[in-house]
Chain A
Amino acid sequence: MTRRIVALLAGAMLAGGTRVQAQDAGATARDQARDTSVPVTTSATRTPLAPGRVRDVAAPAVVAPPPVRFGIDSLRPSPAALRTIALDERMRRDLGVDVGDTVRVSATPGDAAGERVVVSALLARRADPSEIARAEYRARLHLDQLQRLVGYGDRVDRIAVEAGTGDARERVLRAVNDVAFGFRAHRSEEIAVRTGATFQVVNRFHRAIGGITIVASAIFLLCILLLKVDERRRDVAALRLMGVSRRTIVRSVVLEAAMVALVGSLAGVAFGWVVAQLVNWHFRGVHRTPLAFAIVTPTTATFACLLSIVLGIGAGWLAARRLVGRPPLTLLGR
């Protein structure tokens, strides 16, 4: 059935009269295909299709089948006749499985009908937030092999299609959907948006938390700068008694507050960078992923510095106005 659908897709593309080029059907499918450095996911369905017009119709396919079991059959090199499998690199550390080993895969534990396969590659974990919450090992098998193993029949969950860009892609999309029955073609971006909904929510949550911490740190900063300026009341009184104008005093206090805020925020950026490295080091170790959990970007650093300076100037101005509004002798405590 899979082959029939693939042929149907190919026919639809040809009917669309376009040169079909690299364009896949979704982020997940694309990443799976890219991950597979061995001929695991694409070999089953690519060859019979109109050469020259359809360059590649990949079927990374069975995405959520019943779980497949692994048993370490032997650690000796295996006969070349055995088929290959790509396993999660964490299995090397956790289970001692390595490239060249023979493992037994089956749909149920202890299934004697399981198939012996050779580990031909190890899959590195991607910097993918969706993998953080899931501790399962990942594996890549040949499509037909997995279909047979889990009794999935000639079925796939999705088919990635290389198509052109712009109008050509839209024509392909329409042509496929015109002939589709029981399936539907989507643009990569649509699928990416749909699958990215979780991260959009997490992003909004992060922003909200960020907003609260900004309020807290702004109050903290205001407090500190008010105190800092307030400490200068005797100096201000002396300057006023010497005849220095209120305006000059306000400007100098504001300038000082801005400088303190700038230096403080630069130190904060450096501290934040160090903390980010520590956070990344810790969580990368915990989740065994290359994902960066905390990043200090130029935008973040600039925003922090600007906010700090604005707050510093505001606090300095407020405190300075209060100081110069009081008689110098009162400021001296007399």
Chain B
Amino acid sequence: MPVRLALLALLRHPARTLLAILGVAVSAALLLDMVMLATGMRENFRDFLLLRGYQLRVAPRGTLPFDSEATLDSARALVRTVRAVPGVRAVSPVLGAQSQALMGGDSVVTGFVLGLEPDVQGDYELVRGADLVVPDAAAIANTDAVGTLVANAAWLARTRRAPGDTVRLAVGYDPQLRTVLGERRFVVAGEARFHYVATAQPALALPLAVLQAMGGAERRDRVSLLMVKAADGADADAIVQAIQRAAPRTSAISLAGATAQVEQRLAYFKQLALVLGSISLAVGVLLVTTLVTISVNERQGEIAVLRAIGIARASVVMQVFLEGLAIAAVGSLLGLGLGLVTGEWLEGILRDFPGMPPTFRFFVFQPRDAGFSLVLLTLAGVVSGLFPAFRAASLPIATTLRREAVA
């Protein structure tokens, strides 16, 4: 009976009910988006770092990976030290630099170059062609030897090269001598997708030893960071502490540490999500409360009659309460679908962030988020119905009937 009466009350004013449901739907959509924004970034960043299973990063002390131009010296010894730490399964040294592809005349294409050890690298996946070939020591020392490189689509497009083509590369300028530094010839072995580099940024990878050799004394035996893979079941925090003890000039960053640091940098979005999520929830509650309260005010006579013919107070309260809940429930379900659409739209806007890797997402849908939003909205529906239900229950029957009759 209360359910039927609640539905009839809502259907009596279809335009009003529809608008209320729409209002709740938009609020619910915004709430879902903000919950996705607040929680999705953390989860996404975690997956993002774990793309190739490397849980730890070791960078120059006090820095995040590639946060500055700082590098670690004595890299070979450092790699040996870190490999010797109990629980470490693999170590991937990485050196980052700028490279210039010499296109003839004054034309150059600048790209971000990574020096890697191909057998342990976790920075790219091959899309087509072949992987890097690590030359022997003699070839590394020989500046006339032709090396191999893999590059992303942006670099290949800018240099108009394809796998199999050759290119001359340098890693700096000497303005005093008006010459480039570390110039060598390379064959493009393959095309790769770099996980941590923006899609539009030209990027390429060379064997680590080759890039170090091209950089001369400045880059000899240096790396920008180490990526560390822990053995199954190993305690990442214990490994972090062991690395810090073994190599005090480094900062070992665990997944949790990196996530916390990135969260600090992206705190703005989290705070924005919190503020907007709260506002959308408050707007939803206000809308439903106002509507149901006005609806109760309009039906005071009916409610008084129901009470006068013996309908229990609890039944009347339940009827009014269900009206609010029905609007909130239908609006929320509609809003969840709408939220996914608007979330994708907002993701498209934030994807244009300069330097954002293609695999990183701000809005990540997780069933848990949808469930959390639904719980919040259901609670909002419950809260919305409380005040009008209380008003309906506390109506003085005789006074209301007389007033309505006179009116």
Contact = CB atoms under 8 A, between A and B. Distances in A.
Interface size class of B (residues with CB under 8 A): 35 or more
Interface string B261-285: 0001111100110011001100100
A326 to B, nearest CB: 13
Given A183-B175, A204-B349, A227 B60 contact: no
Interface stretch (B22-30, B153-161, B382-390): B22-30
B287 A220 contact: yes
B354 A198 contact: yes
B346 A205 contact: yes
A109 B279 CA distance: 46
Interface in A210-263: 212-213, 215-217, 219-220, 222-224, 226-227, 230-231, 234
A208 B345 contact: yes
A302 B176 CA distance: 59
A219 B23 contact: yes
Interface string A124-138: 000000001111000
A201 interface: yes
Contact of B249 (A108, A201, A227): A108
Nearest to A294: B275
Contacts of A183: 173, 175
Nearest to B261: A135
Contacts of B266: 133
Contact of A224 (B22, B68, B267, B290): B290
Contacts of A1: 175-176
Given A183-B175, A220-B283, A226-B16, A133 B265 contact: yes
B283 A217 contact: yes
Given A66-B68, A135-B264, A212 B16 contact: no
A260 to B, nearest CB: 14
B268 A133 contact: yes
Nearest to B265: A133
Contacts of A213: 30, 276, 279-280
A75 B402 CA distance: 84
Interface string B246-271: 00110000000000000011111001
B134 interface: no
A215 B22 CA distance: 10
Interface string A183-211: 10000000000000110010011001100
Contacts of A51: none
Contacts of A283: 271
B77 interface: no
A276 to B, nearest CB: 12
B19 A219 contact: yes
B174 interface: yes
Nearest to B280: A216
Contact of B19 (A69, A109, A198, A222): A222
Given A135-B264, A201-B353, A181 B19 contact: no
B26 A67 contact: no
B208 interface: no
A183 B180 CA distance: 12
A279 interface: yes
Contacts of B309: none
A66 B64 CA distance: 11
B30 A212 contact: yes
A212 B26 contact: yes
B391 to A, nearest CB: 16
Contacts of A69: 62
A3 to B, nearest CB: 11
B364 interface: no
Q: Which of A1, A109, A215, A216 counts the most chain B CB atoms within 10 A?
A: A216
A64 interface: yes
A7 to B, nearest CB: 11
Interface in B175-213: 175-176, 178, 180
A5 interface: yes
B22 A67 contact: no
A108 B247 CA distance: 13
B354 A223 contact: no
A109 B63 CA distance: 13
Contacts of A222: 19
B62 A226 contact: no
Given A109-B61, A208-B349, A216 B175 contact: no
A294 to B, nearest CB: 9
A65 B272 CA distance: 32
Interface string B115-137: 00000000000000000000000
B15 interface: yes
Interface string B294-326: 100010000000000000000000000000000
Minimum-distance CB pairs A-B, first 4: A182-B173, A66-B70, A216-B26, A219-B23
13 contacts: A64-B68, A67-B62, A108-B61, A132-B268, A133-B268, A183-B173, A197-B354, A204-B349, A208-B345, A213-B280, A216-B27, A219-B19, A230-B16
Given A183-B173, A208-B345, A215-B26, 13 more contacts: A65-B69, A67-B63, A67-B70, A108-B61, A198-B354, A201-B353, A201-B354, A209-B272, A216-B26, A220-B287, A223-B19, A223-B20, A223-B291
